[in-house]
Amino acid sequence: MTPYTARPLTPTALKELRARDDAGRPMAPFTDEEGDAPLRCCLRRSEPGERLALVAYAPLRRWAAETGADPGAYDEQGPVFIHATECPGPDTDALPFTNARRTVRRYSTDGRILGGRLVEDPTAFEPAFTEAFADPEVALVHVRAVEYGCFLYEVRRP
């Protein structure tokens, strides 16, 4: 079992995003006809027919609000898929979305990017996290999609 845990969006963040996203827009639910959208609430792919929303999410801003950090220009927001209504969250502690090229982006305690690593092999995530957290300056990492740069999930120190 890996010592690293993928963190889904918190229930508080989800409640807020379902009212207004981090860009101030109201949620606009839709029925997912095709499925396969990466859901950040339960860290799995959507199924056809599920009610979803695509919302703007600012992961570093929310982390900074918890910790008192000031990420400055690194405070970015991007699109993420969530269920339009409350869901039970992840049903496994396995690392999600490991079937494609990802970046493991490192952040310091003050919210600055410290570098990253391209991960192309599903077995390389744990070594990438171990490498990242071997640096005492690294407070957390974001796993992101390579093609779009989308935030997938956060991992904090074990």
Query: What are the domain boundaries of the chain?
Result: 11-83, 102-156
pLDDT value of residue 1: 67
pLDDT for 129-147, tens place per residue?
999 999 999 999 999 999 9
With cut-offs at 50, 70 and 90, classify the pLDDT of residue 2: confident
* Predicted TM-score (pTM) of this structure: 0.94
What is the arithmetic mean of pLDDT over 3-24?
A: 97
Taking only Cα atoms into account, the Rg of the chain, rounded to an integer number of angstroms, comes to 15
Instruction: Give buried/exposed letters for 36-50 (b at 16+ CB in 10 A, else e).
Output: ebbbbbbbbebeeeb
What residue type is assigned to position 54 of the chain?
A: L
| Two structure tokens written together for 141 | 């990492």
pLDDT value of residue 149: 86
Beta bridge partners of 137: none
pLDDT for 42-91, tens place per residue?
999 999 999 999 999 999 999 999 999 999 999 999 999 999 999 999 99
pLDDT for 145-158, tens place per residue?
999 889 999 999 88
